[in-house]
Amino acid sequence: MGDLILITGVTGFLATHVVGAALEAGYKVRGTVRDLSKGDSLSELYPSRKDQLELVEVKDLIHSDLTEAFKDVKAIIHTASPYVIQGIEDPEKQLLSPAIEGTLNVMRAARAASVQRVVITSSFAAVTLFDKGGPWRDYTYTEDDWNPATFEQANDASKPGAWIYSASKALAEKAAWNFAKENDIELVTMCPPMIYSKTIQKVTSKAKLNTSSATIYNLISKPAEMPDNRLPLFCDARDVAKAHVQALKTDGAVGHRVLLCGGSYTWQSATKLLLEQRPELKDRLPSLDNVEDETRTIARLDTTIAQRDLGIQFISFEQCLLDSVDQLLAMEKQW
């Protein structure tokens, strides 16, 4: 059996994919959950790998003593981070401190446990430059691009929730890099845009869908109008998960921010694709009547490190969408 690694927040949408990729790669996984009873569904997903998977309860990554959780761990994948974009009344309490201090507590525990390598799930939100158009510009983003938001700017409840969330991701990632450099920890951060895919989690109702899966389900639920094209760049969760695990095994990405992107899309193009590939869904899709095609230029992400050093061959949006829709339709029958 391979080395013992720790993955935070293992019941999350992306984290369940990361757990699966790590188990498949032969690692022994210790995963943190806020409530052990909620981890049962994850254990049930991998009955043949029970000897590789161990869950530990960590109620709060900010204040908890992580000593026991990190004992004998060789590497860490930190995926847990708050996702709040609506109803933000206290940005510092709801987003900024949990993201920054939670990350720093993980980094401090890694140092104390002599963990050499840490992989952190960051986001394109930490890369994008909103004042220059964000994803809507003729530009190729690289790992040298940073969301310039400051803590003081982000701690303002009058700002849009998505803007505050994006700032929290950038500030948490910057804190991790500063800590890693000061303490000689090998750090890799992953910066994907929107993450879609089939879900590994057990979903018992529409209300239990994660945000990105719910967005796709809404598309095939006869919405009154075409969804907004807010972030027209995506990566399949299976590729994001593989990148996290590959970063544990290879040295090429150490010290880098790894941009992950399978391409661009719009909901207009997604609707046309489904009409072509799944014509039986015609009556469930938004109408294309009087809907103009998106003509704004969409930015690109430099994914050289992901492809060259981590061996990622990105899943296309077509495959990602069709796989997701087919699974949602199958799950729908059980609700």
**Residue position matching structure tokens 């009873």:** 37
CATH number at residue 146: 3.40.50.720
Mean of all residue pLDDT scores within the chain: 95
Specify the number of domains making up the chain: 1
Whole-number pLDDT of residue 82: 82
Whole-number pLDDT of residue 1: 53
Domain assignment present for 43: yes
Domain assignment present for 69: yes
- Is the pLDDT at 77 greater than 80? The verdict is yes
Range of the domain at 33: 4-198+233-263+299-315
- Write the CB contacts of 14 (distance below 8 Å, at least 6 apart in sequence): 79, 121, 195, 237, 240, 241
- Whole-angstrom Cα distance, residue 168 to residue 82? 9
- Whole-angstrom Cα distance, residue 93 to residue 161? 14
Domain assignment present for 204: no
pLDDT digits (tens, 9 = 90+) for 168-183: 999 999 999 999 999 9
> Directed axis angle between helix 267-277 and helix 211-219, to 10°?
60
Domain assignment present for 215: no
More confident position, 82 or 208: 208
Domain assignment present for 86: yes
Domain assignment present for 58: yes
Read off the pLDDT of each residue in 277-286 and give the average, rounded to a whole number: 98
Domain assignment present for 157: yes
Greatest CA separation for the chain: 60
| This prediction's pTM | 0.96
Confidence of residue 2 (pLDDT cuts 50, 70, 90): confident
pLDDT digits (tens, 9 = 90+) for 19-52: 999 999 999 999 999 988 878 788 888 888 888 9
29: left (phi over 0), alpha (psi -120 to 50) or beta: beta
Whole-number pLDDT of residue 46: 86
Domain assignment present for 294: no
